[in-house]
Amino acid sequence: MQALWDVFLRVDEGEFVSLIGSNGAGKTTTLNTIIGLLYPKSGSITFKGTPINRLSTSRILDLGIALVPEAKVLFPRMTVLEHLLLGAQVPRAWDKREDTLEWVFQLFPRLKERKNQKAGTLSGGESQMLNIGRALMTRPKLLLLDEPSLGLAPKLVLMIFDTLRKMHEEGVTTLLTEQHIFHALTLCDRGYVIETGRIVLHGQGEELLKNKQIKEKYLGM
């Protein structure tokens, strides 16, 4: 079954771009295709001038793309610190791991408090912080975030988006998929709307928030 049809999007260096849509619209499939877990039948994916649509996921990671998956994939018996150092295993990140680790701890002070704690004992919010922190330890040139607020309490959703805002201010190039439409469009420079595997709208975040179709279908206004 084909999930995506003529999807087009771009993320410029330093930008925060949101890909929004309802459940099953094709958001996760889009990210999985960019990171090399799926291969497109046609079309091209280019990163910094290099075609990547036929590269392995490990090679794409080496080039500088990291994915925070929708599922919180952690090793329950490993500590928080061990997870973060695992993210720094790529060649470009290892020598700078101490500096990156300090930066991650600044973004997520809770992880510093829990650094010697087993991942299996973390709360849902702490697990998501660790997922994001591990990806940041790769020193990504492009960070892909697949619905980081999924399953979190409203207070934690606000905290996650506040951290994403700080990351954006510090220049982390980001492509976010999200069902919290208002937060995603408020934060982003540009946004794309995907429906049944097709991009149907795109523009600046503020413009999309004012769009009548977005208000009616996604914001209930």
Whole-prediction pTM:
0.94
Q: Which residues are registered as beta bridge partners of 178?
A: 20
Q: Within its chain, how far is the Cα of 172 from the centroid?
A: 11
Mean pLDDT by 10 residues, the chain (221 residues): 92 97 92 95 94 94 95 92 96 94 96 96 94 97 95 91 95 94 94 94 93 81 56
Selection from 108, 118, 114, 113 nearest residue 79 by Cα: 118
Residue 88, Cβ neighbours under 10 Å: how many? 21
- Token pair, residue 19, equals 């890909």
* pLDDT given at position 137: 97
Residue 119 gets which letter from DSSP? G
Cβ neighbours of residue 129 closer than 8 Å, sequence gap 6 or more: 108, 110, 111, 160, 163
* pLDDT given at position 221: 56
- Token pair, residue 189, equals 């420079």
* pLDDT given at position 131: 96
